[in-house]
Each structure stands twice: as C-alpha cells, then as structure tokens.
Structure 1
Amino acid sequence: MAEKTAKKTASAPKAAASAKAAESAEKAAPAKRAASAKKAAPARTATPAETAPAKTATARTTAAKTTPKKAAPKKVAPRKAAAGRAAAGKPVAAWKPESRTALVRRARRIDRELAEVYPYAHPELDFENPFQLLVATVLSAQTTDLRVNQTTPTLFAKYPTPEELAEANPEEVEEILRPCGFFRAKTKSVIGLSKGLVESFGGEVPGRLEDLVKLPGVGRKTAFVVLGNAFGRPGITVDTHFQRLVRRWRWTEETEPDKIEAAVGALFPKSEWTDLSHHVIWHGRRMCHARKPACGVCPIAPLCPAYGEGETDPEKAKKLLKYEKGGFPGQRLKPPQAYLDAGGRPAPPLGAVSGT
C-alpha cells in the first residue's frame, strides 16, 4: 500500500509538467501559424533609405564641410547700383513719389554733389563794384555772360559812375550795347536805373530788395544777384537754367519765378541760397542742357528723376559738355574731355580761379 502511494506521489510532478507543456504549445500555435504565413509571403525589397547605413555625427559634419553652398546674393547700396546703371548707360528704375522729408534730403544731397563738382562756382559776370554788377546783370538778359563781359569794359570806361551814365547820350550807349542784343531796350534800362540811383539813393546801389526792384529793368532775379554777390545777403537767382533744372529734378512743379523761388528756398537753409544758385546755374550751362543733357557723365544721375532724357552713353555724353571761355579767367578753352578727372567727373581746369 505504501509502495503504491509512493508511485502516485512521484508521478504527480510529471503530470503537472505535461499539462504546462500542453498549455504552452496551445498558446504558441497562433505565433507559429503567423510565422509560417510570413515565410510563405513574397519577400519585400528594402528601399535605399532603409538599406543606407545610418550617418554618424562625424559623417554629417564632414558632408556639411565638403558640400558647396550657394553664395548669397551680394547686397549693393541703392545709390551705388543706380550709379552703376547710369555709368553703363542703362536706365535707372522708375522714380517713385517721395515724402517731404525725402525731397529735402535729396535736394540737399544734389547741392552737396554739385558743390564738389563746381567748388569754384561764382558769378560769371565781370564786375568791380555793385553798380557794375547791377548794370551787367541787366545786360545779361537774352544773351551770354561772355558777350556781356566783352561789352561792359567799353561801357564802364566811358561811363564809370551812375551820374555819368544817367547823363549819357542814348544813341552812343546803344552803339556800345548793340552786340548784347535788344540794345535799345537795354539802353533805356541802364540809363533809367542810373537816374534812379542818382535821384533816390544818392548814386549808391541800395542793399535792400524792396529798393532795388523799384529801379527800371530790375526784377527779383537781378536784385538777388546783386544782393548775394555784392552785399553778401542770401538770395535765390531764378533764371532760365535754374527754372529748368529744379523742375527737372522735381523740386517743385511751379512755373512762376516768384513761386519757384519760394518753393526751392523752403528746401534749404537761407545761408545756402546764393551758392545753391551758382551750383544749379553752372550745372545747367555746362552739363544739364535744355535739349540734350549729358546724363552719361552726370554726377547726380542716381538722384535725378529725369535720368535718360539725354545721352546716357558716357563717351557720347562727354562731347556734350560745354565750357565758356569767360568762365575760367586766364584759362584757354580746351576740349570738354580735358575738364574730366580720372573718374570721368567734371573737374576745374588747371589755373582756374574763382572770380570776384
């Protein structure tokens, strides 16, 4: 009896192990069936991305160093870019409307550029005193300063004072002034203003605008020339060159001289008015002509809304530059190219001096 009990006890663990094995086999059956199905399915080809070896940090760094980078576009200042296009004869981008502040800044920058180009700008009429300047300015209407400078030495040698010119024979004065054009009207003006000086101001040229404009043949333009250059009192000279250029530069759209004077004067300090007038007038006579301006060599091309109205080819534009013989005292006239510096900008000829 004891022997049977011992056999049963020994077989019990074996039975438990068999039961566990059966349970494990039952659980593993689905996994085996899935594995068999997977083996039976056609094999999928791996993509290049899956088969490519993973890049290490060192490899990524090396690749970044050896891979050429696209160069970033070079930034060019707007003014330099425009200047480059101007020098190459290419049109500058269309002008955009500007604020009042932008207009003031551009106008003053143009004046600074012109001051560098024409540092010797001065009245191109020869004179030794306010009376001579007043008469010469009246005579300069509808003619050149060169022609006036050729005529006034004879006139002032014969009639050096207002008193003598006031008593002059009109026919004799007409004969002297004939080369200036409109000699009859100009004779009447210079004799009339001389009488006005003698009768109202004791033979002296007044230093006030309101007094000067009362004299025959004297308007605001003439008065400002005299005040600015004989008395050192600032004034804007609105002649034909000045009117043309300030409208071309879009400083103002006014057409009447008085309104142009007020509009342009508001853009600059009063102390700069006289020099500003010289710079603009010199530029208008020498480079920025009415019919065909020399845009290709103009130093303010990037600042000019009218760039392209004239000749943009630098070589052709150089031939358009004009220099009057009387503009540079004691200097013999040379070809226009002789007045350009190494950079192609107009430069004063050797020996040029500023006039009085």
Structure 2
Amino acid sequence: MPRQLSYAEQVEVFRRLHGANPHPKGELEHVNAFTLLVAVALSAQATDASVNKATRDLFPIADTPQRMLALGEEGLIPYIKSIGLYRNKARNVIRLSEILVERFGGEVPSSRAALESLPGVGRKTANVVLNMWWGFPSQPVDTHVFRVGNRTGVALGNDVVAVERALENHVPVEFQQLSHHWLILHGRYTCVARKPKCPACLIRDLCTYEEKTPE
C-alpha cells in the first residue's frame, strides 16, 4: 500500500498542479447555487458531459426551485431522460425544490447538515456546493479523488470519509480550496483507472504508486 506523502511532498505535488492549471474549475455547467446543486445531484453515476448536455436545455427554463416545481416531475423527465436513474433523480429534484421553498425560502443553504437533509444530496454533493458556491475548503471525494488520493499517497483511506479526512489533515492549507479540482482533473485525464498515463504525469517522481505504467 502506498505511504502517506510528507508535508514537503504534498506542497510540491500541489505546487506543480497549480503551476500547470492555476485556476481549475469544475466541469458541471451551472448559473447559480440551485443549478449547481441540481447538476451535482444529477451527476451521480453519470458523466459531467451527459449532465451538461441535458441541463443546457433545462436550466434556461428551470433555474430556481420555484421554476423547477412549475415544470414538475413529468415535465422534468424528458430533459434528463438520457441520464442514468433519471426517474429517481427527477423525483429527488422536485422534492428538494419543494423543501428549499418550504424550509429555506427558496435559497440553497450553506450548511452541510441542511444540504444533506435534501433528497438525493449526499456528503459529496453537499461538499461540492459548499466548496464551489460558498467558498468553504470542503473536500468532495468522488471516484477520481478516491483513486488518486490512495494511488499517489496524497490522501489514504479505505472509504470516502477517510479520504476526505486525510485531505483535510494533509493538504497544505493554501491549496485546500482547489485541491479537489486538481485531483479530479488529474484522475480524469492522467491518473485514469486503467493504465494510468504515468509517463506524462507531473508528479510521477513524488507518487508512491509502485505499478507505474512504463514509458
């Protein structure tokens, strides 16, 4: 099993990732806190590209909880039918819109507990909204972050909560706000699940993964 990188190694990892991409951004398209929340909820077990394709037509007509409720579950389904688990997701989006109107005055809350009380919103989704919209240094852990964290030694853990805690504990403070973006992008395009692109990796010499893909 890879070892946890030292503080000095962590600094160098994120210094290089920052140097290559100083302003990383999430790839889910959104226009406000509500559309970000919906997009992340829709992205469970789906690609960002498939969600963006669906929401480009959806969000111009349903960019608030009130407008989403006016559309209704049956009206929402045709927009998201290309996304996996679309019926369950449509039900959750309409119900969370109702709760936002009834309990939160139509606004997306800025607390993890409140966000996680919404249907279809788990810890990862809550952390994405807290980080990307509210500016908290929360650490969303998706499959890419989990894989890269464990494979490289940046953040070791047997489950997503353990990796989240490891990121909070080990990523240097100055990089915490954007660290999950760098790790997601690194996992999506370089440190891929099968046959990682080690020869092209910026942090190959720092990574503790033993089965590196050869030149």
Tell me which residue corresponds to 1:227. Answer: 130
Aligned-pair RMSD on alpha carbons?
2.0
Pick from 156, 163, 187: which aligns with 2:59?
Answer: 156
| SS in structure 2 at match of 1:105 | helix
1:120 alignment partner in structure 2: 23
Higher-Rg structure is 1
| Deviation by residue 1:119-142 (Cα, 9 ceiling, x = unmatched) | 231011111110110101111111
Whether contact under 8 Å (1:295, 1:307) holds in the other structure is no
For 1:281, give the aligned amino acid: I
1:193 aligns with 2:68: no
Of all paired residues, the percent bearing the same amino acid is 37
What is the CA deviation profile of residues 191-247 of structure 1, one whole-angstrom value per residue up to 9, with x for unaligned ones?
111111011101001111121111111112111111111111211110000000110
Residues 78-129 of structure 1: CA distance to partner in whole angstroms, max 9, x if unpaired? xxxxxxxxxxxxxxxxx9967xxx6222222211111112223101111111
Query: Corresponding residue for 1:206?
Result: 109
1:145 paired to 2:53? no
| Alpha-carbon distance in 1 for matches of 2:113, 2:99 | 14
Give the distance between the partners of 2:212 and 2:193, measured in 1 at CA.
10
Q: Distance in 2 between matches of 1:243 and 1:118?
A: 20
Summarize the Cα distance change of 1:253–1:268 in structure 2 as closer, same or farther, 3 Å threshold.
closer
Cα 1:96/1:244, change in 2 over 3 Å: closer
Contact 1:234 1:272 in 2 (8 A): no
Conserved? CA contact 1:174–1:187, under 8 Å: yes
2:177 alignment partner, SS class = helix
Tell me how far 1:189 sits from its aligned partner: 1.5
**Distance (Å, rounded) in 1 between the aligned partners of 2:35 and 2:95:** 15
Q: Is the 8 A contact 2:2 2:209 kept in 1?
A: no
Aligned with 1:302: secondary structure? Answer: coil
CA distance in 1, matches of 2:156, 2:177: 21
CA contact (8 A) 1:165 1:194 kept: yes
Single out whichever of 133-142 and 157-166 deviates more from structure 2: 157-166
Match of 2:203 among 275, 278, 300: 300
- Equivalent runs, 1:148-187 vs 2, <5 Å: 148-187=51-90
Q: What is aligned with 1:264?
A: 167
What one-letter code is carried by the residue in structure 2 that aligns with 1:267? H
Could you say what secondary structure the match of 1:169 adopts? helix
Unmatched segments (≥5 aa) in structure 2: none
Following the alignment from structure 1 to structure 2, what is the Cα–Cα distance between the partners of residues 269 and 104? 7
Question: Could you tell me whether the CA contact under 8 Å between 1:113 and 1:299 is conserved in 2?
Answer: yes
What TM-score do the two structures reach when normalised by structure 1? Answer: 0.57
1:275 equivalent among 171, 178, 192:
178
C-alpha separation in 1, matches of 2:23 and 2:201: 18
| Aligned residue type for 1:255 | N
Aligned AA (2:43) = S
- Number of matched pairs: 215
> How far apart are the structure 1 equivalents of 2:82 and 2:159?
29
SS class of match (1:179): coil
The 1:307/1:121 distance shift into structure 2, 3 A limit, reads: farther
Q: 1:265 to 1:296 in 2, by over 3 A?
A: same
Structure 1 residue ranges without an equivalent (≥5): 1-94, 314-356
Q: Does the 8 A contact of 1:107 with 1:251 survive in 2?
A: yes
Task: Check whether the contact 2:3–2:153 (CA below 8 A) recurs between aligned residues.
Answer: no
Q: Could you list the per-position Cα deviations for residues 235-268 of structure 1 after superposition, in whole angstroms to 9, with x for gaps in the alignment?
A: 1110000000110012444222112111221012
Asked whether the equivalents of residues 136 and 148 of structure 1 are also in contact (C-alpha less than 8 Å), the reply is yes
User: Structure 2 length normalisation: TM-score?
Assistant: 0.92
Evaluate the alpha carbon distance shift between residue 236 and residue 205 of structure 1 in structure 2; reply closer, same or farther with a 3 A threshold: same
Q: Partner of 2:60: helix, strand, or coil? A: helix
